[in-house]
Amino acid sequence: MAGTVEKPLAPSYQEVPGGITAPRGFRAAGLHIGVKRFRKDLALVVSDVRAAAAATFTTNRVQAAPVRVTREHIQGGYLRAIVCNSGNANACNGPQGVHDARRMAELTAAALGAAPGEIAVASTGVIGVPLPMDKIAAGIEQAVHLLSREGGDDAAHAIMTTDTFPKQVAIEFELKGKTVRIGAMAKGSGMIHPNMATMLAFIATDAAIEPAALQSVMRRSVERTYNRISVDGDTSTNDMAVIMANGMAGHEPLSLGDPELETFAAALDYVNGVLARAIARDGEGATKLIEIRVVGAPTEADAVQIGRSISRSNLVKTAIYGEDANWGRILCAAGYSGADFDPERVDVYIGDLLVCQDGTGLAFDEQRAKEILKQSDVAVTVDLKAGSAEATVWTCDLTYDYIKINGSYRT
Amino acid sequence: MAGTVEKPLAPSYQEVPGGITAPRGFRAAGLHIGVKRFRKDLALVVSDVRAAAAATFTTNRVQAAPVRVTREHIQGGYLRAIVCNSGNANACNGPQGVHDARRMAELTAAALGAAPGEIAVASTGVIGVPLPMDKIAAGIEQAVHLLSREGGDDAAHAIMTTDTFPKQVAIEFELKGKTVRIGAMAKGSGMIHPNMATMLAFIATDAAIEPAALQSVMRRSVERTYNRISVDGDTSTNDMAVIMANGMAGHEPLSLGDPELETFAAALDYVNGVLARAIARDGEGATKLIEIRVVGAPTEADAVQIGRSISRSNLVKTAIYGEDANWGRILCAAGYSGADFDPERVDVYIGDLLVCQDGTGLAFDEQRAKEILKQSDVAVTVDLKAGSAEATVWTCDLTYDYIKINGSYRT
């Protein structure tokens, strides 16, 4: 029933080094160009050949300029490169912002000998400050010269904002008789919530997949991974997840309806799941990864709705920070989720410890609860006993450092 | 456009002392009975004569035992008394909880010579711990002997949990040629969010009003006041707002359709508005009251939806704690509210300072912004420029002390 955190969403895969440059035919660079004061702030990921591409974007009504531009470019179904700056979100900058985002694509395309529509553009950072385009232009020029097969790690660093560690993973698996790789990097930290919150994820694979099939598996995978994490419930203006599949593994391309598409989809879920959990673990100020599993639900949608409500509760998140087995707050957050369930049937587990049965508190072993809550990974299971559907969402605890980080970010 | 906080919802009224015992024919007591360790924890408010009554309750699926019992009792349309303990929520205690809540009503009724169905029961505090009924029983007995016309203040103290100050107000105004009074008390602090969150409000008036008319104005007033505040977005299992109108002002009773009912409704809005803002100001750990006004909206519902989304944003609340004019977070929270609007028309004001025009940042006077944000009352105005509807919601900043208070509440 309850228990371990980070149960993989799919069978385990062979992890390999190299991050986003692990698959064949991808090169990357990450460098400091002066948007941020000291740290790396420009990442470039390039496929040697044109790659099928797909993307998902923030659902916020306020969409940053790079989101608008990349949304247009992805319509073509193919990309050559992704260019991303950190330190400045290029959001709420009016027509100038869109102009600057287009210019980023044009400069990158020119330097690579590609078309502007083959470039995805992303930005993350402060809202409402125009991009320093002179620095961006010089930086793109420089980045192209730094591109290498070992550049994945630099690129993963360059997209960070308040992230405390880079997030990357790469795996190798068999597909249509060939060895294929998926490599990926992401950034998260604040403003993380379902439906793509200041969250960027870039995925590269040498698998061969038609754009429509890629869009289909990507959308479903994002729904199950990045859209099931929450740091503070805020959904940003800049989120996107972009995947490029360049086909250099050399197998027959996967299209919609191909049974092997599920093999790829499972591998993609694994990669996105690892990054999603890393983002939740690295939520601003977080000390713990919290996994909330809602089981025994009538439908998966109910389970997700209840899980998200619990994952957004400041009271639950502070209680877990305080290592307090306050199941009442968990049940309460389930109660205001809007999902229909019978509170008098609900069981709540902290780790594998049953603390509330049929909606009523148990005299549980407080010492054991303390031990479970002391861990850096805490699992909470809510069993509705009303069906067989389930869902897992991830969040982090809410701490003094969240306040510290966010009380003085802009200035 | 923008500017002062706490603009009354209605013309100002003559405030009078006495809190909930200010109106004729109400007596109250507040005392320490040992549910909490040291502080007052039982409040009793009694009308000398049977009073018309109305109430609204939490929308949480998990409803504490006293909510269920009071919901039944209020069906009758009349009450004699409200009994409320703090320190224990009597929530998630299974059938025993409901039995205990009924017993609280029975004991109070017996001591007053009333029927159990004429007693409203409320509890607030820790979830999942059975009520100490021996203390409650002895306490009710004692409370009945302490009832007095000056007991309002003691009662207001006895319903507090993590509140840092008691919340009460009383006003006097003319109605149907008579001088009438409304007196009220409330408690709030954590878990405050629209739709009645760990929030109790008790209102007494000597106006004469039919139960159906009273229910109608009460529901509308709660929607405009308590349902427009948010401390942390959590909606509790125990919230209720109860009003008793005992008619001792001696005027002809108001019924539905009476034009003077609006005179009463406006006064009730004033009283509930004062208490709602006091609750927001006293949010756990709060240092500032934040008033969010959304104007120029196509409908009031849109304005409320956007205002609530902003009021729930941890990023907005920490920015204001940090006295940072981070309008990007405000616009961003409007963007994910789910309401439909054109981000490129939106103006944002901090106090009376325009910081974002047509969705684009302005080079505003940072010094002036700092001065505005240094105040204990901060007004934020979002102008959608898309209509003439508006709404105001209230929240507080998110601070280190919120984490401190909620990281170790239960244990």
Of B281, B310, B335, which residue sits at a domain end? B281
User: What angle, rounded to 10 degrees, do the helices at B94-112 and B133-146 form?
Assistant: 20
Query: Which entry of B70, B108, B198, B381 is annotated as an active-site residue?
Result: B198
Residue A18 has pLDDT above 60, yes or no: yes
Q: How far apart are CA A73 and CA A221, in angstroms?
A: 21
The residue whose two tokens read 């909620």 is B406
Q: Is A1 inside any structural domain?
A: no
Query: Chain A contacts of B408, Cβ < 8 Å?
Result: 322, 324
- Does residue B263 share a domain with residue B138? yes
Per-residue exposure over A136-168, b if at least 16 CB sit within 10 Å of its own CB, e if not: bbebbebbbebbeeebbbbbbbbbbbbbeebbb
Which of A314, A312, A378, A305 is closest to A348 using CA atoms? A378
Q: Is B88 inside any structural domain?
A: yes
Does A315 touch chain B if contact means CB atoms closer than 8 Å? yes
Nearest to A92 among B127, B328, B411 (CB): B328
In which element (H, E) is residue A185 found?
A: strand A178-187
Query: Chain A contacts of B233, Cβ < 8 Å?
Result: 233, 312-314
- Does residue B263 share a domain with residue B198? yes
Q: Is B7 inside any structural domain?
A: no
Q: Across the interface, do B327 and A128 touch by the CB < 8 Å criterion? A: yes
What does the pLDDT read at residue B2? 38
What does the pLDDT read at residue B406? 77
Q: How far apart are CA B248 and CA B322, in angstroms?
A: 50
With 0-12 / 13-18 / 19 or more C-beta atoms within 10 angstroms meaning exposed / middle / buried, residue B177 is: exposed
- Does residue A273 share a domain with residue A296? no
What does the pLDDT read at residue A6? 45
What does the pLDDT read at residue B193? 47
| CB-CB contact of B94 with B264 (8 Å) | no
Q: Which tokens sit at B64? A: 């504490």
Instruction: Identify the three-state secondary structure at position A181.
Output: strand
- Does residue B392 share a domain with residue B243? no
Does A228 touch chain B if contact means CB atoms closer than 8 Å? no
Q: Across the interface, do B398 and A403 touch by the CB < 8 Å criterion? A: yes
Tell me the catalytic residues of A. 198
Q: Is B352 inside any structural domain?
A: yes
- Does residue A272 share a domain with residue A313? no
Of B226, B253, B281, which residue sits at a domain end? B281
What does the pLDDT read at residue A217? 97
Query: Chain B contacts of A350, Cβ < 8 Å?
Result: none
Strand B389-396 relative to strand B229-230: parallel, antiparallel, unpaired? parallel
- Please give the model's pTM, rounded to 2 decimal places: 0.83
- Does residue B171 share a domain with residue B41? yes
Mean pLDDT of B83-101: 94
User: What angle, rounded to 10 degrees, do the helices at A65-74 and A94-112 form?
Assistant: 50
What does the pLDDT read at residue B237? 80
Does A334 touch chain B if contact means CB atoms closer than 8 Å? yes
What does the pLDDT read at residue A11? 58
Domain count, chain A: 2
Q: Residue A61: pLDDT band by 50, 70, 90 thresholds?
A: confident
Of B234, B252, B281, which residue sits at a domain end? B281
Q: Which of residues 2-41 of A touch B (CB under 8 A)?
A: none
Residue A204 has pLDDT above 70, yes or no: yes
Q: Is B142 inside any structural domain?
A: yes
Count of CB atoms situated within 10 Å of the CB of B4: 10
Q: Across the interface, do A334 and B398 touch by the CB < 8 Å criterion? A: no
Distance from CA of residue B16 to its chain's centroid?
A: 20
- Does residue B214 share a domain with residue B190? yes
pLDDT tens track for B286-304: 899 999 999 999 999 999 9
- Does residue B233 share a domain with residue B379? no
pLDDT tens track for B245-260: 999 999 999 999 999 9
Q: Across the interface, do A332 and B403 touch by the CB < 8 Å criterion? A: no
Q: How far apart are CA A31 and CA A153, in angstroms?
A: 11
Q: How far apart are CA B398 and CA B151, in angstroms?
A: 34
Query: Chain B contacts of A199, Cβ < 8 Å?
Result: none
Residues 6+ apart with CB under 8 A from B199: B186, B187, B188, B191, B192, B226, B236, B239, B241, B279
pLDDT tens track for B188-233: 865 544 343 478 999 999 999 999 999 999 999 999 999 888 766 5
- Does residue B324 share a domain with residue B269? no
Q: Across the interface, do A318 and B91 touch by the CB < 8 Å criterion? A: no
User: Which chain A residue has its CA at the smallest distance from B335's CA?
Assistant: A61
Query: Chain A contacts of B61, Cβ < 8 Å?
Result: 334-337, 339-341, 343
Q: Is B4 inside any structural domain?
A: no
Could you give the percent of chain B with pLDDT greater than 70?
93
Does A113 touch chain B if contact means CB atoms closer than 8 Å? no
Q: Across the interface, do B93 and A361 touch by the CB < 8 Å criterion? A: yes
Residue B10 has pLDDT above 90, yes or no: no
Q: What is the overall mean pLDDT for chain B?
A: 91
Residues 6+ apart with CB under 8 A from B375: B288, B351
- For residue A50, give how far its alpha carbon lies from the nearest alpha carbon of chain B (Å): 34
Distance from CA of residue B164 to its chain's centroid?
A: 15
More confident: B227 or B155: B155
- For residue A190, give how far its alpha carbon lies from the nearest alpha carbon of chain B (Å): 8
Does A318 touch chain B if contact means CB atoms closer than 8 Å? yes
Query: Chain A contacts of B92, Cβ < 8 Å?
Result: 328, 331, 343, 356, 359-361
Whole-complex ipTM? 0.77
Residue B270 has pLDDT above 80, yes or no: yes
Which of B53, B20, B6 is closest to B276 using CA atoms? B6
- For residue A400, give how far its alpha carbon lies from the nearest alpha carbon of chain B (Å): 5
Does A309 touch chain B if contact means CB atoms closer than 8 Å? no
In which element (H, E) is residue B396 found?
A: strand B389-396
User: Cα angle at B376 between B370 and B378, to 5 degrees?
Assistant: 65
Mean pLDDT of A337-361: 94
Residue B7 has pLDDT above 90, yes or no: no
Q: Is A99 inside any structural domain?
A: yes
More confident: B405 or A51: A51
| CB-CB contact of A287 with A399 (8 Å) | yes
**What Å distances lie between residue A203 and A71, A183, A194, B209, CA to CA?**
16, 6, 19, 66
Q: Residue B408: pLDDT band by 50, 70, 90 thresholds?
A: low
Q: Is A277 inside any structural domain?
A: yes
pLDDT tens track for A361-384: 899 999 999 999 999 999 999 999
pLDDT tens track for B24-61: 999 999 999 999 999 999 999 999 999 999 999 988 88
Strand B347-350 relative to strand A42-57: parallel, antiparallel, unpaired? unpaired
Q: What is the overall mean pLDDT for chain A?
A: 91
Q: Which of residues 342-371 of B touch A (CB under 8 A)?
A: 343-344, 356, 358-361
Structural domain containing residue B400: 289-406
Q: How far apart are CA B30 and CA B4, in angstroms?
A: 35
Nearest to B128 among A235, A356, A409 (CB): A356
Residue A34 has pLDDT above 90, yes or no: yes
What does the pLDDT read at residue A4? 39
Which of A206, A300, A217 is closest to A259 using CA atoms? A217
The residue whose two tokens read 């998200």 is A308
| CB-CB contact of B289 with B399 (8 Å) | no
What does the pLDDT read at residue A237? 80
Residue A88 has pLDDT above 70, yes or no: yes
| CB-CB contact of A323 with A373 (8 Å) | yes
Could you give the percent of chain A with pLDDT greater than 90?
78
- Does residue B182 share a domain with residue B305? no
What does the pLDDT read at residue B196? 38
For position B122, which CATH number holds? 3.60.70.12
Query: Chain B contacts of A91, Cβ < 8 Å?
Result: 328, 332
Residue A288 has pLDDT above 50, yes or no: yes
- Does residue B248 share a domain with residue B322? no
Mean pLDDT of A129-150: 97
For position A324, which CATH number holds? 3.10.20.340
Distance from CA of residue B264 to its chain's centroid?
A: 18
Nearest to B332 among A234, A318, A325 (CB): A234
Does A401 touch chain B if contact means CB atoms closer than 8 Å? no
pLDDT tens track for A353-365: 999 999 998 999 9
- Does residue B237 share a domain with residue B150? yes
